[in-house]
């Protein structure tokens, strides 16, 4: 992993982690085009720089997360914040369980990055297009009930296997439940934080245990910082964009990118 590759991967991670176009698919495509080998150290690096993106998310929604943490320990159902906090806990559980059970399978798929990227792109395209097509967008976030949170959490499992965009899967799941785009996006961002943080910390522990830290220095801190800065800007841009535009452009982009991956796979 060179410094140039690290900066590029950091930019890709920051740009695509929150924009619903599958950051993992872009990472896999870049891995192939840059001829970066599919080693355990590279897999650890790609997961660990997500901590830079999650840092950006925690900073951007810092007040929201603090309010939700405080509300979580208040009397159940006592406030809208308390209900939202427990809905995030409920929506997080399926992805955490799937991530733990499918980690080895997902890691093995990095050995065939273009096929995995194509699957992720096509899944993201289908979810986003379907969400815009059937979603009534008639509900505000404060009308959420526990079945909504569970179904959105199950959609987020698609970000683990076979793989869509994490934000795209959650946004799509919320819109299928008829939430508006703004509320769907906000909930998707809040919901993604625990899963991303758990995955990053687990991989960090594994990197230390397996002695991979030396292989990841000094490129890991650089990728972390770049991913964080670009991620913060991406969150700000997407929240503004999605308030005025539909998701069809992201769906079309993912479909084209998926076909590109298949063409490269056959080349």
Across 55-79, average pLDDT: 92
Residue whose C-alpha is closest to residue 23's, from 44, 50, 55: 50
Across 34-43, average pLDDT: 82
For residue 214, count other CB atoms closer than 10 A to its CB: 8
pTM value > 0.85: yes
For residue 104, count other CB atoms closer than 10 A to its CB: 8
Across 175-187, average pLDDT: 94
Whether 208 has a pLDDT exceeding 80, the answer reads no
pLDDT in the model for residue 55 = 94
Residue 83's domain comprises 3-266
DSSP for 88-133 reads HHHHHHHHHHHHHHHHHHHHHHTTSHHHHHHHHHHHHHHHHHHHHH
**Main-chain dihedrals φ then ψ at residue 139, nearest 5 degrees:** -115, 140
Whether 241 has a pLDDT exceeding 90, the answer reads yes
Whether 139 has a pLDDT exceeding 60, the answer reads yes
Q: Which long-range contacts (CB under 8 A, 24 or more apart) does 103-108 make?
A: 105/161, 106/160, 106/161, 106/163, 107/43
Least confident of 6-20, 109-123, 187-201: 109-123
Across 53-77, average pLDDT: 92
Across 164-190, average pLDDT: 91
For residue 137, count other CB atoms closer than 10 A to its CB: 16
| Domains: count for the chain | 1
Q: How confident is the model at residue 225 (pLDDT cuts 50, 70, 90)?
A: very high
d(Cα 171, Cα 31) in Å, to the nearest integer? 27
Whether 120 has a pLDDT exceeding 70, the answer reads yes
pLDDT in the model for residue 24 = 82
| Sequence-ordered list of residues with C-beta below 8 angstroms from that of 12, at least 6 positions apart, any chain | 23, 26, 27, 30
Q: pLDDT exceeding 70 applies to what percent of the chain?
A: 94
Residue whose C-alpha is closest to residue 50's, from 195, 156, 215: 195
Across 248-254, average pLDDT: 95
Q: Which residues of 107-131 are buried (b: 16+ CB within 10 A; e: fewer)?
A: eebbeebbebbbbbbbbbbbbbbeb
Whether omega for the bond prior to residue 218 falls within 30 degrees of 0, making it cis, is yes
Please tell me the total number of residues recorded for the chain in this structure: 267
Least confident of 64-73, 97-106, 133-142, 210-219: 97-106
Higher pLDDT, 190 or 205: 190
Whether 105 has a pLDDT exceeding 70, the answer reads no
Distance linking the first and last C-alpha atoms of the chain: 25
């Amino acid at each position: 992993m060179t410094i140039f590759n690290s900066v590029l991967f950091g930019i890709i991670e920051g740009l695509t982690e929150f924009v619903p176009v599958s950051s993992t698919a872009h990472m896999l495509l870049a891995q192939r085009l840059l001829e970066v080998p599919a080693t355990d150290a590279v897999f650890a690096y790609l997961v660990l720089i997500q901590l830079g993106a999650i840092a950006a998310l925690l900073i951007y929604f810092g007040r929201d997360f603090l309010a939700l943490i405080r509300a979580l320990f208040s009397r159940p159902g006592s406030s809208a914040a308390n209900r939202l906090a427990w809905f995030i806990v409920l929506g997080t559980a399926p992805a955490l369980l799937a991530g733990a059970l499918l980690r080895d399978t997902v890691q093995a798929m990095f050995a065939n990055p273009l096929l995995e990227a194509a699957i992720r792109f096509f899944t993201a395209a289908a979810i986003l297009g379907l969400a815009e097509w059937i979603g009534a967008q008639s509900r505000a976030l404060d009308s959420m009930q526990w079945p909504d949170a569970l179904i959105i959490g199950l959609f987020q499992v698609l970000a683990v296997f076979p793989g869509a965009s994490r934000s795209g899967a959650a946004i799509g799941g919320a819109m299928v439940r008829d939430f508006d785009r703004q509320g769907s996006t906000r909930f998707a961002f809040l919901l993604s934080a625990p899963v991303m943080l758990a995955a990053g910390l687990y991989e960090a522990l594994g990197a230390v245990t397996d002695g991979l830290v030396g292989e990841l220095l000094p490129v890991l801190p650089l990728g972390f910082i770049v991913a964080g800065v670009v991620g913060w800007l991406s969150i700000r841009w997407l929240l503004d964009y999605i308030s005025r535009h539909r998701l069809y452009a992201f769906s079309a982009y993912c479909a084209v990118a998926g076909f590109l991956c298949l063409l490269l796979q056959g080349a």
